[in-house]
Amino acid sequence: MVGSAIVRKLHTEGYTNIITRTSSELDLRNQAAVVDFFAQERPEYVFLAAAKVGGIWANNVYRADFLYDNLMIESNIIHSAYQTEVKKLLFLGSSCIYPKMAPQPLKEEYLLSGFLEETNEPYAIAKITGIKLCEAYRTQYGCNFISAMPTNLYGPNDNYDLQGSHVLPALIRKFHEAKINDQPSVEVWGTGSPRREFLHADDLANACFYLMEHYNDALFVNIGTGEDVTIREVAELIKETVGFTGELRWNTEKPDGTPRKLMDVSRLHAMGWKHTTELKDGLERTYQDFLANEVLYIE
């Protein structure tokens, strides 16, 4: 989702010499393969969007995979970028890096100020390591490696697997299938009370391009909308968008996760960047994309 959005943005800006690889073409966990890739292609600028990602269930069940895979991906790429003298690298982390009970909204300086959310601790630790790798290579070797922390994302090419996806794509698929199967209700995990912020992938790509052009400092930057909604509110909005007329059933035996994760985006706003896609419009566009590519997304 993120990589394809960045490629779309680069094409829009007139760039044509864009180097990409799918996970089937290049295993980024394989150090030798990554070293060979960088030695052969010699990229000048790197957007590090690759990661193993998932929702609460996947993060909690595949804890070793989320830690190992993400550590290997970022370590291999960042080190190879240093070795081949990449001009600039942008590492993308996640809002889950912040402590579970950190003050809201989440400011960049809150990193490592408290305990992490238990269910996604391994993923968060991996992403924190990526930030620190960029800082360390900058300090020791003078590399222009920067980091950005996006909030919860959605948009074209999202993961709609019901076990491994994030809350928004999972709900889109649940409501869609309930609608076409004429089901009376849809189950949603938790109480519906946690608050979440959602950013369209195209807005993230715009922000990444902006930072690659204008930002060169060591401190990572939050990317988000600065606005959040409850899970109950977003479920009702998706229900309306999809056109499902049944009931919502809240399974309170399932975890809620962090009570709130609202990003403080004042630093990014002060630089001159702000999102343009509001949640209602973004969901409508995303659902239309899901309908157009349903066979690919749920096969």
pLDDT in tens, 230-244: 999 999 999 999 999
Q: What is the pLDDT of residue 31?
A: 98
CA dist list (Å): 290 to 35, 55, 160, 183, 287: 36, 19, 9, 20, 5
Residues annotated within the binding site for NADP(+) are: 92-95, 127, 150-153, 166
Q: Can you give the pLDDT at residue 299? A: 65
What is the average pLDDT value for the chain, to the nearest integer? Answer: 95
- Rounded to whole angstroms, the Cα distance separating 187 from 173 reads 12
What are the pLDDT digits (tens) for 92-129? 999 999 998 899 999 999 999 999 989 889 999 999 99
CB atoms within 10 A of CB 125: 16
Q: What pLDDT sits at residue 194?
A: 92
- Over residues 174-201, the pLDDT tens digits come to 999 999 999 999 999 899 999 999 999 9
Distances in Å between the Cα of 75 and the Cα atoms of 6, 72, 96, 233, 261 are 21, 5, 19, 38, 27
150 vs 134, 185, 221, CA distance in Å?
16, 32, 9
Binding-site residues for substrate sit at 174, 189, 196, 256
Residue 122's alpha-carbon distances to 3, 71, 99, 248, in angstroms, are: 23, 10, 13, 31
Domains of the chain with CATH codes = 2-297 (3.40.50.720)
pLDDT tens by residue, 120-173: 899 999 999 999 999 999 999 999 999 999 999 999 999 898 776 788 999 999
- In the DSSP assignment, the letter for residue 156 is T
Q: With a cut of 80, say whether residue 295 has pLDDT above it.
A: no
Over range 265-279, report the average pLDDT.
97
Positions annotated as catalytic residues are 123
Question: Which residue positions form the known binding site?
Answer: 92-95, 127, 150-153, 166, 174, 189, 196, 256
CB atoms closer than 10 angstroms to residue 251: 10
Model confidence at 8: pLDDT above 80: yes
3-class state of residue 45 by DSSP: strand
Give the distance, in angstroms, between the CA of residue 251 and the centroid of all CA atoms in the same chain. Answer: 25
pLDDT score of 166:
82
